[in-house]
Amino acid sequence: MERTEPGTADPLVLEGAPISLPEGSATATFGMGCFWGPDARFGALEGVARTRVGYAGGTDSDPSYFSLGDHTEVVQVDYDPEVVSYEDLLEVFWDTHDWASTAPKRQYRSVVLAHDDDQYATAQRERTALEDRAGRSAAVDIERLETFHLAEPSHQKYELRSRPIVGDELETLYGDDFLDSTVVARLNGFVSGHGDPDRRETVLAALDPPPAVLTELRRWSSGCNTLPETPKERGLAEWDHITEDESEFDSFWDGWLKRQG
């Protein structure tokens, strides 16, 4: 794999991993708790061309992170069915979150939002098969997607943005293409420890970012993940990520605690 010629596309895009969606691509949408983690997990998969996080499954016309209404946090995945199937994506969905327990609030519920009749029928069939194997019910809703509301920029590729040096530098390099780049989706997954190690190294070796960025990408991708783990630490990390205006902290913290139930 080689870099594209300067000026032809985004500065780090690889052959075979374009910003534009491949012809014949399909889209899947899942709710499986906080959307930051699923965004990274799906982004590391070969065949996934783009990931976005947002809000869906509700009726409010203009949801936001601090005013979700009856919507759920979801990840939307654009993928190439020639490389990865909808069943493959569902397998990731089942394997990477607690599908047997009811979420404490609608914001974090487990839900498959089907884009067509085939996806709806496949999800129903897979849920039934899982329940039969496990001998218990799945607390997973299966619905048809009505509208997907894109989440705020600060939540897109959150795991990548949260890494010192890496997030800011890559967002500057990519500009408006940061959200939709396949390579950024991969890197968002890699820095969270997802993806095959050999594949991660192949992608990193093909990139040509500033040396400091490449060093940090390799460090985080190798498993040096020390991001906050407790709810309070994650809340404070979220505050640092969204804004540094101290005058807004009290209102932010009150809202964050309410969202935790």
Catalytic sites, residue numbers? 34
Both tokens of residue 216?
């940090």
* Alpha-carbon dihedral angle through residues 210, 188, 105, 243, given to the nearest 10 degrees: 10
User: What is the DSSP-derived secondary structure letter of residue 29?
Assistant: E
Q: Check residue 257 and report its DSSP letter.
A: H
Are 17 and 47 spatial neighbours (Cβ–Cβ below 8 Å)? no
Cα separation, 181 vs 17, in Å, equals 8
Amino acid (1-letter code) at residue 59:
T
Q: Which of 212, 216, 203 is nearest to 163 (CA)?
A: 216
d(CA 171, CA 189): 16
Sheet of strand 72-79: strand arrangement: 141-144, 110-114, 26-32, 72-79, 48-56, 149-150
CB 21 within 8 A of CB 49: yes
Q: Output DSSP code: residue 28.
A: E
Residue 225: CB atoms within 10 A of its CB come to: 14
| Token duo for residue 166 | 């890496």
